[in-house]
Protein backbone atom coordinates (compact mmCIF):
# COMPACT_ATOMS: atom_id res chain seq x y z
CA UNK A 1 0.00 0.00 0.00
CA UNK A 2 1.29 3.46 -0.91
CA UNK A 3 2.30 5.67 1.98
CA UNK A 4 0.55 9.02 2.21
CA UNK A 5 2.38 12.23 1.45
CA UNK A 6 1.73 13.46 4.99
CA UNK A 7 3.20 10.28 6.50
CA UNK A 8 6.43 10.82 4.57
CA UNK A 9 6.59 14.52 5.44
CA UNK A 10 6.11 13.71 9.14
CA UNK A 11 9.19 11.45 9.17
CA UNK A 12 12.18 12.85 11.07
CA UNK A 13 14.92 15.03 9.61
CA UNK A 14 18.21 14.22 11.33
CA UNK A 15 20.72 17.10 11.24
CA UNK A 16 24.41 16.30 11.68
CA UNK A 17 27.49 18.50 11.90
CA UNK A 18 29.83 15.98 10.29
CA UNK A 19 29.52 12.44 8.97
CA UNK A 20 31.42 10.18 6.60
CA UNK A 21 28.46 10.10 4.21
CA UNK A 22 24.76 10.74 4.68
CA UNK A 23 24.07 7.67 2.54
CA UNK A 24 26.29 5.56 4.82
CA UNK A 25 24.50 6.91 7.89
CA UNK A 26 21.11 6.07 6.39
CA UNK A 27 22.37 2.61 5.47
CA UNK A 28 23.44 1.98 9.06
CA UNK A 29 19.97 2.95 10.31
CA UNK A 30 18.39 0.51 7.86
CA UNK A 31 20.77 -2.26 8.97
CA UNK A 32 19.81 -1.56 12.59
CA UNK A 33 16.09 -1.62 11.76
CA UNK A 34 15.69 1.93 13.08
CA UNK A 35 14.84 3.57 9.75
CA UNK A 36 11.47 4.49 8.32
CA UNK A 37 10.20 5.76 4.96
CA UNK A 38 10.66 9.49 4.58
CA UNK A 39 13.55 9.64 7.05
CA UNK A 40 16.01 12.33 5.92
CA UNK A 41 19.63 12.85 6.88
CA UNK A 42 21.31 16.21 6.30
CA UNK A 43 24.88 17.15 7.23
CA UNK A 44 27.00 20.29 7.24
CA UNK A 45 30.03 18.25 6.21
CA UNK A 46 30.80 14.86 4.66
CA UNK A 47 34.29 13.49 5.15
CA UNK A 48 33.82 10.74 2.57
CA UNK A 49 30.96 11.98 0.41
CA UNK A 50 30.04 9.68 -2.45
CA UNK A 51 29.77 10.47 -6.13
CA UNK A 52 28.94 8.30 -9.10
CA UNK A 53 31.20 5.32 -9.88
CA UNK A 54 33.25 5.67 -6.70
CA UNK A 55 34.13 9.33 -7.15
CA UNK A 56 34.36 11.57 -4.08
CA UNK A 57 31.88 14.39 -3.65
CA UNK A 58 33.71 17.59 -2.63
CA UNK A 59 32.01 20.17 -0.45
CA UNK A 60 32.68 23.16 1.78
CA UNK A 61 31.46 22.98 5.37
CA UNK A 62 27.99 24.45 5.72
CA UNK A 63 27.82 25.72 2.14
CA UNK A 64 26.42 22.66 0.36
CA UNK A 65 23.19 20.75 0.73
CA UNK A 66 24.24 17.20 1.66
CA UNK A 67 21.24 14.97 2.23
CA UNK A 68 19.88 11.47 1.96
CA UNK A 69 16.21 10.49 1.83
CA UNK A 70 14.85 7.01 2.50
CA UNK A 71 11.95 5.88 0.34
CA UNK A 72 10.19 2.60 -0.36
CA UNK A 73 10.11 2.19 -4.15
CA UNK A 74 6.85 1.01 -5.66
CA UNK A 75 8.71 -0.27 -8.68
CA UNK A 76 9.94 -3.63 -9.83
CA UNK A 77 13.69 -4.05 -10.00
CA UNK A 78 13.69 -3.93 -13.80
CA UNK A 79 12.37 -0.35 -13.63
CA UNK A 80 15.14 1.19 -11.55
CA UNK A 81 15.99 3.62 -14.34
CA UNK A 82 12.49 5.10 -14.24
CA UNK A 83 12.75 5.46 -10.48
CA UNK A 84 16.03 7.34 -10.93
CA UNK A 85 14.49 9.58 -13.58
CA UNK A 86 11.58 10.42 -11.31
CA UNK A 87 14.00 11.53 -8.58
CA UNK A 88 16.11 13.64 -10.96
CA UNK A 89 13.02 15.33 -12.38
CA UNK A 90 11.72 16.16 -8.89
CA UNK A 91 15.02 17.81 -7.97
CA UNK A 92 15.24 19.70 -11.26
CA UNK A 93 11.67 20.94 -10.75
CA UNK A 94 12.60 22.24 -7.30
CA UNK A 95 15.60 24.20 -8.58
CA UNK A 96 13.81 25.50 -11.66
CA UNK A 97 11.22 27.25 -9.49
CA UNK A 98 13.81 29.00 -7.32
CA UNK A 99 14.91 31.53 -9.92
CA UNK A 100 13.31 32.21 -13.29
CA UNK A 101 16.57 33.19 -15.03
CA UNK A 102 18.20 29.76 -14.76
CA UNK A 103 18.49 27.14 -17.48
CA UNK A 104 18.13 23.95 -15.42
CA UNK A 105 19.02 20.62 -17.03
CA UNK A 106 19.74 17.00 -16.13
CA UNK A 107 23.01 15.67 -17.47
CA UNK A 108 22.55 11.95 -18.07
CA UNK A 109 22.07 10.10 -15.88
CA UNK A 110 21.53 12.35 -12.85
CA UNK A 111 23.76 15.43 -12.58
CA UNK A 112 22.00 18.75 -12.04
CA UNK A 113 23.15 21.45 -14.45
CA UNK A 114 22.51 25.17 -14.13
CA UNK A 115 23.52 27.42 -17.03
CA UNK A 116 25.85 24.78 -18.53
CA UNK A 117 27.67 24.03 -15.27
CA UNK A 118 27.27 21.24 -12.73
CA UNK A 119 25.63 22.34 -9.50
CA UNK A 120 24.74 18.99 -7.97
CA UNK A 121 24.46 15.27 -8.33
CA UNK A 122 22.33 12.35 -7.22
CA UNK A 123 23.53 8.96 -6.00
CA UNK A 124 20.83 6.37 -5.36
CA UNK A 125 21.70 3.19 -3.47
CA UNK A 126 19.14 0.39 -3.35
CA UNK A 127 18.62 -2.09 -0.53
CA UNK A 128 17.38 -5.55 -1.41
CA UNK A 129 16.22 -8.36 0.85
CA UNK A 130 16.11 -11.45 -1.28
CA UNK A 131 14.35 -10.37 -4.43
CA UNK A 132 12.45 -7.57 -2.65
CA UNK A 133 13.45 -3.96 -3.20
CA UNK A 134 12.81 -2.67 0.30
CA UNK A 135 14.46 0.76 0.37
CA UNK A 136 16.18 3.28 -1.81
CA UNK A 137 18.54 5.80 -0.29
CA UNK A 138 18.45 8.95 -2.40
CA UNK A 139 21.68 10.83 -1.83
CA UNK A 140 21.82 14.39 -3.15
CA UNK A 141 24.57 16.98 -3.05
CA UNK A 142 24.03 20.57 -4.22
CA UNK A 143 26.38 23.56 -4.19
CA UNK A 144 24.33 26.29 -2.54
CA UNK A 145 26.27 29.12 -0.92
CA UNK A 146 29.73 28.90 -2.50
CA UNK A 147 30.93 32.14 -4.08
CA UNK A 148 33.96 30.57 -5.78
CA UNK A 149 34.55 27.07 -7.10
CA UNK A 150 37.91 25.21 -7.06
CA UNK A 151 40.14 25.97 -10.04
CA UNK A 152 40.33 22.25 -10.84
CA UNK A 153 36.52 22.14 -11.25
CA UNK A 154 35.97 24.73 -14.01
CA UNK A 155 32.60 23.28 -15.03
CA UNK A 156 31.04 23.49 -11.57
CA UNK A 157 28.88 26.19 -10.02
CA UNK A 158 26.57 27.02 -7.11
CA UNK A 159 23.18 28.61 -6.68
CA UNK A 160 24.84 31.74 -5.27
CA UNK A 161 27.21 32.09 -8.23
CA UNK A 162 24.42 31.74 -10.77
CA UNK A 163 22.09 34.42 -9.40
CA UNK A 164 23.83 36.27 -6.55
CA UNK A 165 21.09 35.31 -4.11
CA UNK A 166 21.58 33.56 -0.78
CA UNK A 167 19.65 30.33 -0.22
CA UNK A 168 19.33 28.59 3.13
CA UNK A 169 20.68 25.04 3.08
CA UNK A 170 17.96 23.65 5.37
CA UNK A 171 15.27 25.47 3.41
CA UNK A 172 16.60 23.75 0.29
CA UNK A 173 16.58 20.38 2.06
CA UNK A 174 12.92 20.73 2.97
CA UNK A 175 11.91 21.88 -0.50
CA UNK A 176 13.74 19.02 -2.20
CA UNK A 177 12.26 16.33 0.05
CA UNK A 178 8.74 17.72 -0.40
CA UNK A 179 9.11 17.70 -4.18
CA UNK A 180 10.49 14.14 -4.18
CA UNK A 181 7.61 12.88 -2.03
CA UNK A 182 5.02 14.80 -4.09
CA UNK A 183 6.47 13.42 -7.31
CA UNK A 184 6.11 9.84 -6.10
CA UNK A 185 2.58 10.43 -4.87
CA UNK A 186 1.22 11.83 -8.17
CA UNK A 187 1.11 8.43 -9.92
CA UNK A 188 2.41 9.81 -13.20
CA UNK A 189 2.72 7.24 -15.96
CA UNK A 190 6.12 5.96 -17.03
CA UNK A 191 5.66 7.74 -20.36
CA UNK A 192 5.10 11.10 -18.64
CA UNK A 193 8.15 10.62 -16.41
CA UNK A 194 10.32 9.75 -19.40
CA UNK A 195 9.07 12.74 -21.37
CA UNK A 196 9.78 15.11 -18.49
CA UNK A 197 13.26 13.67 -18.11
CA UNK A 198 13.98 14.15 -21.81
CA UNK A 199 12.59 17.69 -21.64
CA UNK A 200 15.31 18.39 -19.06
CA UNK A 201 18.04 16.40 -20.85
CA UNK A 202 21.25 18.39 -21.07
CA UNK A 203 22.58 19.12 -24.58
CA UNK A 204 19.75 17.28 -26.32
CA UNK A 205 20.07 17.81 -30.07
CA UNK A 206 23.65 19.01 -29.70
CA UNK A 207 27.03 17.46 -30.55
CA UNK A 208 28.81 16.01 -27.51
CA UNK A 209 32.23 14.40 -27.19
CA UNK A 210 32.64 11.14 -25.27
CA UNK A 211 35.59 8.98 -24.32
CA UNK A 212 36.51 5.64 -22.82
CA UNK A 213 39.79 3.86 -22.16
CA UNK A 214 40.48 3.39 -25.86
CA UNK A 215 39.21 6.36 -27.84
CA UNK A 216 37.29 9.61 -28.14
CA UNK A 217 34.29 10.22 -30.39
CA UNK A 218 31.34 12.53 -30.79
CA UNK A 219 27.67 12.32 -31.60
CA UNK A 220 24.41 14.22 -31.29
CA UNK A 221 22.49 13.54 -28.08
CA UNK A 222 19.07 12.26 -29.09
CA UNK A 223 17.19 11.02 -26.01
CA UNK A 224 17.15 8.65 -23.05
CA UNK A 225 15.19 5.42 -23.34
CA UNK A 226 12.75 3.83 -20.91
CA UNK A 227 15.62 1.51 -19.86
CA UNK A 228 17.77 4.51 -18.97
CA UNK A 229 20.17 4.24 -21.92
CA UNK A 230 21.49 7.36 -23.66
CA UNK A 231 20.79 7.39 -27.39
CA UNK A 232 23.35 9.16 -29.55
CA UNK A 233 23.34 9.76 -33.31
CA UNK A 234 26.77 9.24 -34.85
CA UNK A 235 28.05 11.15 -37.89
CA UNK A 236 27.08 8.38 -40.30
CA UNK A 237 23.49 8.38 -39.07
CA UNK A 238 23.84 5.31 -36.84
CA UNK A 239 21.91 5.46 -33.55
CA UNK A 240 23.84 4.01 -30.59
CA UNK A 241 22.54 3.35 -27.08
CA UNK A 242 24.97 3.68 -24.18
CA UNK A 243 24.50 2.29 -20.70
CA UNK A 244 25.79 4.33 -17.79
CA UNK A 245 29.55 3.89 -17.40
CA UNK A 246 30.23 2.78 -20.97
CA UNK A 247 30.79 6.28 -22.35
CA UNK A 248 32.32 9.11 -20.33
CA UNK A 249 31.26 12.70 -20.82
CA UNK A 250 34.00 15.07 -22.02
CA UNK A 251 33.62 18.62 -20.78
CA UNK A 252 34.90 21.18 -23.29
Structural domains of the chain sorted by starting position, each given as residue range(s) with its CATH number in brackets: 5-200 (3.30.930.10), 207-249 (2.30.30)
On the 0-12 / 13-18 / 19+ scale of CB atoms within 10 A, 188 is middle
d(CA 44, CA 52): 20
Segment 212-233 shows an average pLDDT of 94
Each residue's pLDDT tens digit, 152-165: 888 999 999 999 99
d(CA 116, CA 32): 41
Q: Are 21 and 48 in contact (CB under 8 A)?
A: yes
pLDDT recorded at residue 187: 75
Segment 122-144 shows an average pLDDT of 92
pLDDT recorded at residue 29: 96
- Banded pLDDT at 53 (limits 50, 70, 90): very low
Q: Are 38 and 117 in contact (CB under 8 A)?
A: no
pLDDT recorded at residue 56: 52
Q: Are 226 and 81 in contact (CB under 8 A)?
A: yes
d(CA 225, CA 236): 21
Each residue's pLDDT tens digit, 171-209: 999 999 999 999 888 778 999 999 999 999 999 999 999
Q: What is the pTM of this model?
A: 0.93
Q: What order of strands is seen across the sheet that includes strand 230-233?
A: 239-242, 230-233, 216-224, 207-211, 248-249
| Range with lowest mean pLDDT among 108-112, 144-148, 149-153, 178-182 | 149-153
Q: What order of strands is seen across the sheet that includes strand 117-129?
A: 13-19, 40-46, 64-71, 132-143, 117-129, 111-114, 104-107
**DSSP output for 21-53:** -HHHHHHHHHHTT---TT-EEEEEEESS-B-GG
Mean pLDDT value across the chain = 91
Amino acid sequence: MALSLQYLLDAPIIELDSIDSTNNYAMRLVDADTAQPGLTIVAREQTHGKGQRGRKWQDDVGQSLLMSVLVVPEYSLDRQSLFNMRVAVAIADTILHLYEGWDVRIKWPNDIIINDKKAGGVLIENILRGSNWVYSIIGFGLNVQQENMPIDLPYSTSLKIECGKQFGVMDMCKQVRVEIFKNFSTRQTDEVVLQKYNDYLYRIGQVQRFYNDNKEWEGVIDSVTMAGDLQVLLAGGERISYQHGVANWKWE
